[in-house]
Amino acid sequence: MKNFLVKVSISFILLVCMSSGYVFAFNEEPKIDNNPEENKIVYLTFDDGPSKNTDKVLDILNKYNVKATFFLIGNQIEGEEDVVKRIQDEGHGIGLHTYTHDFKKIYSSNKVFIDEMIECQEEIYRVTNTKPNIVRFPGGSVKRLNKKFKKKLEEKDFKVYDWNVDSQDGIKPKMSPDRIFKKATESNAKEEPIILLMHCDYMHNNTCKALPSIIKFYKDRGYEFKTISDKTPECYFPLKKNK
């Protein structure tokens, strides 16, 4: 059966984290190229690793026998090679989250953005001997990705994955575990596969605390946990109109 675009109607919020300079965009009608016969699937995704908290997340995933996908920042890999290798060895997905995560730099031009993804890819290759081509825009692709830019990414064989459920731990890393759990389980995705956004850098201790309850929630409801690969239907926010 041919894939088709499913439109999820949810609101858009753009928040700025003043302390870190990060911009987090979420919940503006992400589009998923989806197989209608597939449902009850959840993709746990973690941005901003690797870090010591990534190790903690891996411990929890191992305990509950579920898999996840990690979108890594290239310049954080040096010194954390063991964590990256562990992600690979334990069967989780690895994606690209730029080399620097510096918003001013990476969004200065499409070329710089692509160069950052390639640099991140090369750093992951150094450790894993693999070159992942799944990418996540820091802050999400909303208002950044248009048809022309999407084509440029496709020419490099990059595939884009945003999210349709946001734990909001990115904008509020010290949010309570109970609150993170609530946000992570307030699904607007209905019968579609859920792509859940979480984070695993040094600030996200409470995400680690919330994770067991999040896993249990989806397990109890019969969800299958999958990793994102280049075979996974893309998920991205509506494309920006060309000027």
pLDDT (tens digit per residue) in 193-235? 999 999 999 999 999 999 999 999 999 999 999 999 999 999 9
- Residue 210 in domain: yes
- Residue 177 in domain: yes
- Residue 123 in domain: yes
Q: Which of 7-16, 95-104, 128-137 has the lowest mean pLDDT?
A: 7-16
Domain count, the chain: 1
50: exposed, middle or buried (Cβ count in 10 Å: 0-12, 13-18, 19+): buried
Q: How far apart are CA 115 and CA 169, in angstroms?
A: 28
Express the helix, strand and coil content of the chain in percent, nearest 5 each: 35, 20, 45
* Set 47, 48, 162, 169: catalytic member: 47
Distance of CA 86 to the CA centre of its chain: 18
**102 Cβ contact partners less than 8 Å away, ≥ 6 residues apart:** none
Q: Residue 47 catalytic?
A: yes
- Residue 104 in domain: yes
Structure-token pair, residue 32: 């998923």
Per residue in 39-82, pLDDT tens? 699 999 999 999 999 999 999 999 999 999 999 999 999 999 99
Q: Residue 199 catalytic?
A: yes
- Residue 34 in domain: yes
**Regarding beta strands 4-7 and 31-34, do their DSSP bridges make them parallel or antiparallel, or are they unpaired?**
antiparallel
Q: What range defines the domain where residue 17 resides?
A: 4-236
Per residue in 100-120, pLDDT tens? 999 999 999 999 999 999 999
**Regarding beta strands 224-225 and 41-49, do their DSSP bridges make them parallel or antiparallel, or are they unpaired?**
parallel
pTM given for the model: 0.85
* Set 101, 199, 201, 204: catalytic member: 199
- Residue 241 in domain: no
pLDDT exceeds cutoff 90 at 242: no
Give the domain CATH number at 66.
3.20.20.370
- Residue 243 in domain: no
